[in-house]
Amino acid sequence: MKAKFIFLLLPFVVFSSIILLNCSSDPYYDESETVIVRDTLVIPVDTLIGFKKEMQKTNFNFTIQLGAFENKNYADNFADKVKESLNAAPDVRKSRGLYIITFGDFSDASKANDFLKTLRSKGFDKAFILKLN
């Protein structure tokens, strides 16, 4: 009897859990909130200075990620703000369900770091260097 009860109750619990998870939303979502993608390489300024020569020997390309959004409208609005601030359009691409806003293409990590400082001085405090494949 208990086995039948559990067998009948299990689909109900799973179904209601799925509905609750999909219907929940954050009414206080801040559009300026950025999401950092797991496959990014964040290079702190201190690390860059310490390994400046080693990084220059690699054949990586770098860009600077300014933001990542799940909502396309938020990404477009942020990209417009970047364009106004820098007088150049950023790159917007979709990756793994996120709209990633990046700016620049650098073959030298120190040049990317210098530009990152410029971006941070213009108010893009959450920007970071992203290694490209």
State phi, psi for 15 to the nearest 5 degrees: -60, -45
**pTM across the whole model:** 0.55
CATH code, 29-132? 3.30.70.1070
Question: Which whole-number Å values give the CA distances from 16 to 13, 23, 95, 126, in the listed order?
Answer: 5, 11, 30, 37
Is pLDDT above 80 for 26? no
Confidence of residue 107 (pLDDT cuts 50, 70, 90): confident
Q: Is the pLDDT of residue 20 over 60?
A: no
Backbone CA torsion sign across 99, 120, 128, 57? positive
- Rounded mean pLDDT, 46-55: 55
Q: What is the pLDDT of residue 86?
A: 87
Q: What average pLDDT does the structure give for the chain?
A: 75
**Antiparallel, parallel or unpaired: β 98-106 and 128-132:** unpaired
Q: Does the pLDDT of residue 99 top 90, yes or no?
A: yes
pLDDT (tens digit per residue) in 58-94: 567 899 999 999 999 999 999 999 999 888 889 999 9
| All structural domains of the chain with their residue ranges | 29-132
Report how far apart, in Å, the C-alpha atoms of 9 and of each of 6, 16, 20, 50, 104 are: 5, 11, 17, 59, 55
Measure the N-to-C terminal CA separation of the chain; round to a whole number of Å. Answer: 58
